[in-house]
């Protein structure tokens, strides 16, 4: 059975599909609620998820490939999170699965449940700029990111990101544009993470606060995604390939809704009320670049009035 999304005879089937995503009900639940066969539900889910991704991805999740597109994202982070030169916040979310058959421990994550990973880069409007879905739960976010097509294009210079430039007029240091992540990610010319350790000086603690404040956009995006599509609140009892399609469809629908309806999360989430976080020590080639951001955050131009109260 091939399903054409807007065909009149299939609008009822689409209702079942969106009910499945939004409610978190199982095939069994839908079978009893709507008197529709479980095999039919399975076909609907497989075909509609693939169709949504294939038909909507390019419009609602196009990967930026022009400098002005990246500059628009960076401007958003600077205006909303007071973090300059930021092209996105990256993080991973574990999507629960029922234990796949004959899978051993590859799906078992550090939280001790079976999962696949949704890795995402998010902008300051909580939109997914890039997603990678399907890595085994045992894999760490940093490894998944370093193996992604996004990372490959970024490090090979194929994303047309802006050239380095000073963070503020008083500086002559050329600072690259970056992706920001948590302590699980390593330092790189285009990847920032917090300073590690527990006994940090004022500058490093302020840097960590400012980075964490900007990075929360990806965490909030995951929260919005799961609250809209409650299928993500429970273990997905589907084959791995179908589960991947479901998650990808949810992410592109997330972007569609934000584009069409917008979102007002800032009214509910106070970014100034973040607590400092302890992170593991690290070394890397990005230390000098990270120091430039720290210098900016301590300057009259780059500081925010409340930052010393948050460390």
Q: What is the residue extent of each domain of the chain?
A: 8-59, 63-310
pLDDT digits (tens, 9 = 90+) for 31-62: 888 788 888 888 889 999 999 999 999 999 99
Percent of the chain whose pLDDT exceeds 70:
89
| pLDDT value at 136 more than 70 | yes
Which pLDDT band holds residue 168 (cuts at 50, 70, 90)?
Answer: confident
* Per-residue pLDDT tens over the stretch 236-274: 999 999 999 999 999 999 999 999 887 665 444 444 444
The token pair that represents 303 in the structure block: 């500081």
**H helix runs in the chain, sequence order:** 11-23, 27-34, 38-60, 67-81, 141-146, 149-155, 202-228, 240-261, 287-298
Instruction: Please tell me the number of Cα atoms within 13 Å of 154 on its side-chain side.
Output: 22
Given a cut of 50, whether residue 120 has pLDDT beyond it is: yes
Q: pLDDT, tens digit, for every residue of 193-235?
A: 999 988 999 999 999 999 999 999 999 999 999 999 999 999 9
Residue range 138-150: mean pLDDT, rounded? 96
Average pLDDT, the chain: 89
- pTM higher than 0.75 for the full model? yes
């Amino acid at each position: 059975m091939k399903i054409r999304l807007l065909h009149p005879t299939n609008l009822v089937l689409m209702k079942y599909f969106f009910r499945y995503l939004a409610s978190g009900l199982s095939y069994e639940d839908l079978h009893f609620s709507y008197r529709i066969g479980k095999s039919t539900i399975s076909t609907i889910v497989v075909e509609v998820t693939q169709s949504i991704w294939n038909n909507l991805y390019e419009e609602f999740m196009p990967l930026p490939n022009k400098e002005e597109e990246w500059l628009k994202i960076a401007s958003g982070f600077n205006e909303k999170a007071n973090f300059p030169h930021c092209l996105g916040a990256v993080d991973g979310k574990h999507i629960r699965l029922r234990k796949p058959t004959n899978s051993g421990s590859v799906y078992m994550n550090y939280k001790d449940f079976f999962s696949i990973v949704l890795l995402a880069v998010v902008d300051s409007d909580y939109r997914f700029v890039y997603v990678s879905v399907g890595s085994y739960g045992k894999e760490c976010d940093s490894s998944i990111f370093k193996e992604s097509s996004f990372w490959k294009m970024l490090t090979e210079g194929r994303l047309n990101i802006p050239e380095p430039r000073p963070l503020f007029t008083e500086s002559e240091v050329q600072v690259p544009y970056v992706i920001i992540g948590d302590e699980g990610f390593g330092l790189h010319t285009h990847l920032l993470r917090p300073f590690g350790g527990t006994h940090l000086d004022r500058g490093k603690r302020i840097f960590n606060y400012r980075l964490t404040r900007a990075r929360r956009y990806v965490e909030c995006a995951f929260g919005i995604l799961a609250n809209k599509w409650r299928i993500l609140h429970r273990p997905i009892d589907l084959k791995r390939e179908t589960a991947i399609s479901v998650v990808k469809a949810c992410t592109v629908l997330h972007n569609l809704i934000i584009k069409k309806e917008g979102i007002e999360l800032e009214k509910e989430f106070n970014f100034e009320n973040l607590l400092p976080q302890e992170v593991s020590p690290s070394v890397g080639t990005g230390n000098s670049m990270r120091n430039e951001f720290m210098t900016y955050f301590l300057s009259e131009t780059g500081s925010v009035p409340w930052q010393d109260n948050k460390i």
